[in-house]
Amino acid sequence: MKTLTEQLSHYATCHRDRANIATHYVGIPLILLAVTALLSRPGIPVDGWPLSPAVPVAAGVMLYYLVLDLRLGLAMAVVMSAALAVGAWAASLSTTLWLGLSLTSLAVGFIAQLIGHRFEGKKPAFVDDLMGFLIGPLFLVAEAAFALGLRQRLRAQVEAFAGPTRAHRKRGLPNMPSSALRQS
């Protein structure tokens, strides 16, 4: 199993443009909520709590995050618990509203991701490695921790591998390697 640093570093190589990262703060939560809502049906009440396919999937994902890193894993447990609550609420709506809300969130989330990767000039991480779907939310929590001045050693390790984040150029062109620009 890859370490936290390896997972975040690999993911970060496709996410160095700050505009791309900003779109991910919209896209990834929408995708997470959509998937959780879709997995929240059918829900069977067990001791007052709705038990659905979303619960064991989220538990497995939370366990994976906790194994990677206790502190970030605990933060992700809070995020996943909130997603489960929203998913259960969405699943309690009529089928039309539940499905419409879930699929719209999924579509808008992926569109935000694609816009971000247009800025980046690189394909999304999940194209080459499906683990990108699991690492994306963790990456955002780690980026938030970095912005708050936390986990600076981890940030340095990730940036040593992937490079620092950069501001998006204003010329209307995505941040692409110069070799890619010459080919266009």
CB 125 within 8 A of CB 16: no
pTM confidence score: 0.85
Give the 3-state secondary structure of residue 166: strand
Q: What domain count does the chain have? A: 1
Checking if the pLDDT of 63 tops 60, the result is yes
Is the per-residue pLDDT at 155 higher than 80? yes
- Pseudo-torsion of CA 91, 97, 99, 103, nearest 10°? -120
Q: Is the pLDDT of residue 171 over 70?
A: no
Compute how many other C-beta atoms are within 10 angstroms of the C-beta atom of residue 119. 19
Q: Tell which wins on pLDDT, 130 or 83.
A: 83
CA-to-CA separations, 44 to 38, 40, 48, 87, in angstroms, rounded:
15, 10, 9, 14
Residue 27 in this model has a pLDDT that exceeds 70: yes
Q: What is the pLDDT of residue 137?
A: 96
7 or 126, which is more confident? 7
Supply the pLDDT for residue 180: 38
Decide if 134 contacts 76 (C-beta within 8 A): no
Domain limits for position 152: 4-183
